[in-house]
Amino acid sequence: MIHIEGVRWTYAGATTPSLDDLTLDVQRGETVVLCGPSGSGKSSALRLMNGLVPHFHEGRLDGSVHLDGRAVADLSLDQLGRLTGTVLQHPRRQFFTGRSETELAFAMENFGEPPEQIRERVAAGIDEHGLTGFAGRRLQDLSGGQQQQVACAAAATHRPPVLLFDEPTSNLSAAAIERFTATLARLRADRATVVIAEHRLHFLRGLADRVVVLRDGAVHRQWSGEQFSTLDDDALRAEGLRSSVPPPRPKPLRAQGLGPSIDHDTTSMTASGTGVTLHAVSCAFHGRRVLDIETAYLAAGVVTAITGPNGAGKSTLARILTGLQRHQGEILLDGRRFTRSQRQRAGSIVMQDVQRQLFTDTVEAELRLGASRDAGQEQRLQALLRDLDLDPVRDRHPLSLSGGQQQRLVVAAARLSGRRIVVFDEPSSGVDRRHLHSITRVMRDLAGEGAVVILITHDSELLTHTADQELRLRPISP
């Protein structure tokens, strides 16, 4: 079905090729998993299969790619789109419309299919992919897992023979991963050809016909589905892959909290030490309460994870803690009143999309912007550059770095800011194992210096490794 031979691909502006002598065949009806450390060429390989390389991304391509017997280079993107359905890493970024129904119809409308047929297929897609429960709601209000379901349905509605998934589980909760696994199983049963680029592997046991490890843009190693399910954790770690066994249920301590937004019972509220205390904090948008906390205590010197489904108010709480969001109620730091503008000066966030917070034109300048200038700062800066693997790029423009490097840069800037409240919003998406550890270390260091460190995450692996306590939020029932 997919035939890739001797491909070498270099993105415009890059010095080293992203794919180097890649040869890979995928049979009709096969489910193939591509894995490997970040930068190994997983995403580029997928782009090769749907023709975004070379038709959308610019660069230089050698070798040949055939899809269903036709040369990809000779097809236009919309022709390729009829043959492939693609689900990107962030489904919400690929939605073109506001609702499930219109999103499912989008491709077929553009392909000029007759309206009756579109209506029929869309209705079938909503049914098959289990979207009925939330088909009327706005896509942006859905949970990450639901968005993923819609994206899968939208990719499959026009019935392409090939389906491609780029890191489909990077933002999903455990329950959503289970639903996604069921979708995969169904697609597989329908004899679709499926290729998945992923570095979380545990959910793919029994689903993959073949697991291909990429390294430096070429196939480094292949396992059949049976071989893969007998591999132990150490063998995977040797390849730089994340564990394939479902991680044990994490058991960080429950943070102290009480109120409609808090998803657990706290036994008793002990007198607080240093850190942030919330009293009767609530927040509403357009008359709808999104957060309501009677009382909560986020201790200094520890990493507190804020977890919970989409719409539970995690980001709202983070914005309140850093003084960005107006709210009702009172917040104290170390027992003293802590106003909104004080919080703004004491807070720092590592955002999910870090490009939003890169302001200057070199890595070093970025680290110095807004950083405190006390003694020892210079040393800390140099150590941090080495620690986070940023030393070789210190003079580069932040926007020219890879996504992972940009994220580490923002983490480093937060580390140097000397702020008392530091929020990490989903820091593990798209980060491989080695760098995940260095980011974890930064969080620990910050906590060690007495900061209130907040970690917003769905990633159970990160949660177990990093969080000391967990504040679990839930959506307020109306």
Residues 221-250 that bind another protein (CB under 8 A): none
22 and 217 Cβ atoms separated by less than 8 Å: yes
Place of tokens 């986020």: 298
**C-alpha gyration radius of the chain:** 24
285 touches another protein (CB under 8 A): no
Interface with another protein (CB under 8 A), residue from 20, 21, 68, 101: 101
**Measuring CA to CA, how many Å separate 39 from each of 168, 263, 431?**
17, 38, 10
Backbone φ and ψ of 91, nearest 5° = -55, -40
Site string for another protein, 13-42 (x = CB under 8 A): x-----------------------------
End-to-end alpha carbon distance in the chain: 50
Task: Select 328 or 344, whichever has its Cβ closest to another protein.
Answer: 344
Specify burial of residue 300 (Cβ count, 10 A radius: 0-12, 13-18, 19+).
buried
Q: From the list 15, 69, 112, 374, which residue makes contact with another protein (rule: CB under 8 A)?
A: 112
Regarding 52 and contact with another protein (CB under 8 A), the answer is yes
Choose, by CB under 8 A, the member of 23, 27, 110, 227 that binds another protein: 110
Give, in degrees to the nearest 5, the angle at Cα 365 between 322 and 447: 40
Between the CA atoms of 374, 380, 382 and 387, what dihedral angle is there, to the nearest 10 degrees? Answer: -160
Name the one residue in this structure whose structure tokens are 């680290």. Answer: 367
The least CB distance from residue 455 to another protein, in Å, is 17
Cis peptide before 54 (omega within 30 of 0): yes
Closer of 166 and 470 to another protein (Cβ): 166
Restricted to residues 334-373, the positions that interact with another protein (CB under 8 A) are 344-345, 347-349, 351, 353, 355-359, 361, 369-370
Q: Does 62 bind another protein (CB under 8 A)?
A: yes
Q: What's the closest the beta carbon of residue 228 comes to another protein, in angstroms?
A: 29
Residue range at the interface with another protein (CB under 8 A); choices 83-91, 230-238, 240-248, 269-277:
83-91
With CB under 8 A as the contact rule, which of the stretches 94-102, 265-273, 443-451, 465-473 interacts with another protein? 94-102
Q: Does 76 bind another protein (CB under 8 A)?
A: yes
Of residues 384-413, which lie at the interface with another protein (CB under 8 A)?
396-400
- Cα distances (angstroms) measured from residue 7 to each of 19, 330, 424: 7, 60, 38
Among residues 18, 43, 84, 147, the one that binds another protein under rule CB under 8 A: 84
Residues 297-336 that bind another protein (CB under 8 A): 319, 322-324
CA distance linking residue 272 with residue 253, whole number of Å? 16
Number of CB atoms found within 10 A of residue 146's CB: 22
Q: Which of residues 144-173 bind another protein (CB under 8 A)?
A: 154
Task: Give the nearer residue to another protein in terms of CB position, either 28 or 138.
Answer: 138
